[in-house]
Amino acid sequence: MSSRLALKFCGLQLSSPIVLLSGCVGFGEEYTRVEGFSNQDVGAIVLKGTTSQPRLGNPPHRLWETPSGMLNAIGLQNPGIDKVVTEILPSLNFSETCFIANVCGSTVDEYAEVTRRFDDSPIDAMEINISCPNVKEGGVAFGNYPDMSARVVEACRDVTDKPLITKLSPNQTDIAANARACIEAGSDALAVINTIMGMAIDVETQRPIIGNVQGGLSGPAIRPIALLKVHQVYEVAGPQGIPILGQGGIETAADAIEFLLAGATTIGLGTALFYDPLAAKKINSGIEEYLGRHGFSSVADLTGQLNLSDMQNTPASG
């Protein structure tokens, strides 16, 4: 892999700007067994969401393909932090790539406990999934409100010095305000965006298709929304030097470059892996070609290079 694709993210040295997203590659070992996999194609892998206790997840259906996208409502099925730390992490080859834990919880205390356990492990960094429901507040997702998001980040920051990446929800009024609150609470980076809530209905039975009624929509259908959210968050995070993991429907090198120009430092692959497990290799090649064609010496030089000269900053019209 060309040195032009290597970069620093949260103090971690990545061989590529591509990060494989949580929930799409299990705990990493599944993906690294795919024929043709090269650790040089992937800068980091985000592990499956982990809670303090084992969870069986939601009833089926959990996945449903939609036009240009996919609904999922897995329900954070995972074996719990004890098994992840004592059995799964020792099985991973940390010389292959960087591994990022995904921290989940139903209370602020649970987030802090899971973070504390990962702090005492070889994990390279942690992604805080603040889109989990807050049981003590009536099931409202932490990530939809800046004050709740900041409380979670602050609690996690108190128990670790490892890099914290806060995964922001698009299902809120002002994502930039939430980004600002998370940065002030101690987040080292931001992942933008999580899935957008949606549903599907079986018209013959008149019932929801997803067993949980609603699920998170991912894939190309959400890419324009995700791109705008990255741009909005970069206006807050960029001046403070806070990097962004841009994600949401990225399939091609052109998609990835859009996110980089909008303000992302790294780009996440998720749904695209379901039908092209080796998409990272093609995207890296495309970025490499683009850098050479436009005279960039490093992929890091693309971040935030969106040309807004002579653009009118006016609200979208209906």
70 inside domain: no
307 inside domain: no
Within 13 A of 265's CA, how many CA atoms are on the CB side? 26
pLDDT of residue 28: 79
63 inside domain: no
Q: What is the mean pLDDT of residues 132-156?
A: 83
Choice among 69-73, 135-139, 275-279, 308-312 with the minimum mean pLDDT: 135-139
126 inside domain: yes
187 inside domain: yes
Total of domains in the chain: 1
pLDDT of residue 143: 86
Q: Residue 291: is its pLDDT beyond 60? A: yes
CB atoms within 10 A of CB 45: 26
210 inside domain: no
228 Cβ neighbours under 8 A, 6+ residues apart: none
pLDDT in tens, 197-237: 999 999 999 999 999 999 999 999 999 999 999 999 999 99
> Minimal CA–CA distance to 63: which of 71, 54, 52, 55?
71
pLDDT in tens, 26-46: 887 777 666 666 677 999 999
CA atoms of 165 and 153, how far apart (whole Å): 9
Radius of gyration of the chain (CA): 19
Catalytic residues: 132
Residue that wins the pLDDT comparison between 308 and 29: 308
pLDDT of residue 59: 93
- Residue-range definition of the domain harbouring residue 172: 3-57+77-197+215-302
Query: What is the model's pTM?
Result: 0.95
CB 114 within 8 A of CB 52: yes
pLDDT in tens, 51-110: 999 999 999 999 999 999 999 999 999 999 999 999 999 999 898 899 999 999 999 999
CB 259 within 8 A of CB 267: yes
**CATH code of the domain in which 225 resides:** 3.20.20.70
Choice among 135-139, 140-144, 213-217 with the minimum mean pLDDT: 135-139
